A and B are shown apart, each in its own frame.
Chain A
């Protein structure tokens, strides 16, 4: 079993479009959307949801006015300034640490567990898919990422499929860390801009920190050919594998608008041909890595 996680550091480089394209090209796989904050893969794959489960996060403090004597200890102890002078907890600011619950002399703080999202197992025209939606302004996105990846693995095992392709979140923080631990490889999608270069460097350092093999592709490579050259050199310096470039193409946007993947829209389009070539390269490299 192998899992490839597609990440980028910088948002908007084309992760989801590429995962969509790979969905159309790969065989025997499960698709997984781990960008739980802003999941978009379903817009390309139109999954039919077969199983729907709620995702339980931690608790949040709620002060019972009938039991509260207004001593003010909770306000003093709260590190997040989440409790107002009239003892109402702001659910957005509350970290769910439970300190107020523990120390309240009157036992006046309840701590109900929150449902902070949902996850789904679905069927698509390219095979099974696991995805999720985090509630608005919720935390625990790292936990939900871990959960959808685990469910994708269970599904692959149950159906005898040997590949998981995971659409990862942007950045280098909690959700990204949760998305790369234990992966067979990551594929980083970057772009030839100063921001792309800067963010690539940080995300590759993170990947190295977790000792996951990294491949990198440069999307929209002709926007700045000089920068694309600089990035290619940098990829090698940072110990990652450069797997190819895709020139800027309106096909990507057209495909998204039509709810299709790039190879479905026009397999003879220049960028589609490039994507197919890169998938073959990525797939071969993936096959040579140890199974997990």
Chain B
């Protein structure tokens, strides 16, 4: 027996030694930064990017192809009129366009002027035909069978004409459309579509099923092995500056942990993902790595139902909004690993966001007196409305105790679960008991859409400005969960049609005050992102848009002088 015990101890000691040897605990920790300035790089080199999922649909603007991962991977293959900068400003893509402006406001007319020599990889010029095709497949009146992801704005375009040898493209809209810069984000090649068949066939089958052998961007696909990897090399007919790297390989690795291990083993050189405390620690333990963190235009927020037996009472919603400490929520969640990502005090713009060169973000929350964890203030609001807090329990004006409120959250999302738990603690101070409804993926979204909750935590992408908000807060909108406010509808409609940035910013901030005043949205913080790569590489940024980090892929390269770790 003693021999057995001795041998067991030796085996356990061996295992512990191995673990200790592998942990690399002596490695220096790296600090995360948010580098946004272009650094000097040299031509040549390669990089392997870790991606979670392979391409399942090669058409980046089809309903199935328009997903975050696929958009990011296919960005280098297409021409794009506008680019989102790391600071959230939207600028013209000078490689493709000389200019793009609204030249008439009634009817709204947009004029794009192409640069000389812009062309597809096979030498065919990028022309008005490509704009005409890309518009038609996203306009249900021209192609009802086309399975496009997004049709708003495209269906307002009444004509597209080319002039000046096809260099100038003029579009007329039936209605003013403030988010016109978000259209034509991927321009599809009309001459390739011709070879696939009619509009619906080319869009739903040709572009969907075939690995692109063309490119209108800096890189072209050299090889794609389904589910394993995609290799891109420079487009020989690229018309812009760069690209610098000779080969860009995307390696499909599911799971952030596995991606970081692959980075550690040198099998990939870039991990771009949403960080957690654990993954950030793991990244910081690696030597000679650059770690960037930043936030995006997609933000986390809480929301309250504004209809139903108890939540229809504005006083109760206001009290809840007043009692919640949203800054504390930020500090106790992403504050642990993404210190640079600030608390949001607006539900319509992220901090620092610019629209048309103007600062758009405003703190509308403080003026409304919500989100600061003011339990006394919340109780005062409740008492004025006839509620009482007795023995730690909130009693309604009719004398009955308030029922437990249901907090809907996604059970698999650690961050949203933490938010629910913190809210649960905070609301106890005003006598409200919260039960957490940790729904799985299959139930969460339908429950959200149908308003099967009292309070919820979710995320919203703000890439489309007023249109992004309309999907949640417009009357009878796809996700409105019963919310309806005429003033909010009016403001959203006006902002969607407002072409003057200053006026639009004003309308949006007014909308923000209405939405937060109703308690229908309580903003928290932008979704943090993390980019980890060897410090030999440069110009890889956190891009706040839904198109991700590959937006400036032609600038990526090997640094002339590698940074110190």
* Binding partners A and B: no
A interface vs B, CB < 8 Å? none
B interface vs A, CB < 8 Å? none
